[in-house]
Structure 1
Amino acid sequence: MSLSQATCEACQADAPQVTDQELAELIAMIPDWTPITVDGVMQLQREYKFKNFKLALAFTNKLGELAEAEFHHPGILTEWGKVTVTWWTHAIGGLHRNDFIMAAKTDELLS
């Protein structure tokens, strides 16, 4: 099953973060995403390019609907011609499998 077809699971504060091995396996499935560390917290980030602000905003709104449906919410920076999306699991202060699932689902919003 592809990541985008998977379902997020409820995540508690004691849920494990992905291991280094899981990170390597999962990031290979979403190659346009970059693992970053912000204030000691591992996150996934991708920048999407658009022709104008209107298209960037439309993408942001679709992403907002997806996030609400999955009850998992990213950081979103919407600017003229681009949207930067950052996924991480706040409850565990790092990356969970859910973040990779949501990154894959975010990519599908372009199709």
Structure 2
Amino acid sequence: MKLAEKKCLPCEGGMPPLSSSEISRLKAEISPGWEVVNHHHLVRTFYFVNFRHTFDFVMELAELAETEGHHPVIHIYYDKAVVEIWTHAIDGLSENDFIL
């Protein structure tokens, strides 16, 4: 099943973060522009023409995060939003991070 067809599953911890090979395999399935930082988290900067567009994007992302039960860290600027995703319960990457 492709990542786009999956939903996030609750993660209570107790499992290891993804290995480098698992990260590489899953990264190939997500949109270009996402970077893996230190095998720990995903980061991507989204650019917009003004704050209103940035804010609208953040609100849509917040709705998706609530639906999936998996919440990114979002840095909001006038014309961009920087999104960081990792699974806090395991302090690293899980499949959920690539689904969101």
Q: Same fold (TM over 0.5)?
A: yes
Gaps of 5+ in 2: none
CA distance in 1, matches of 2:22, 2:81: 27
CA distance in 1, matches of 2:34, 2:90: 20
CA distance in 2, matches of 1:61, 1:100: 20
CA distance in 1, matches of 2:78, 2:63: 21
Q: Given the two structures, how large is their TM-score scaled by the length of structure 2?
A: 0.92
Match for residue 95 of structure 1 among 85, 93, 96: 93
Partner of 2:58: 60
| Deviating 4+ runs (over 2 angstroms) | none
Q: Given the two structures, how large is their TM-score scaled by the length of structure 1?
A: 0.83
Equivalenced residue count is: 99
3-state DSSP of counterpart to 2:41: strand
Partner of 1:84: 82
- RMSD after superposition: 1.3
Compare the two structures and name the one with the higher helix fraction: 1
Partner of 2:25: 25
CA distance in 2, matches of 1:2, 1:50: 29
Gaps of 5+ in 1: 103-111
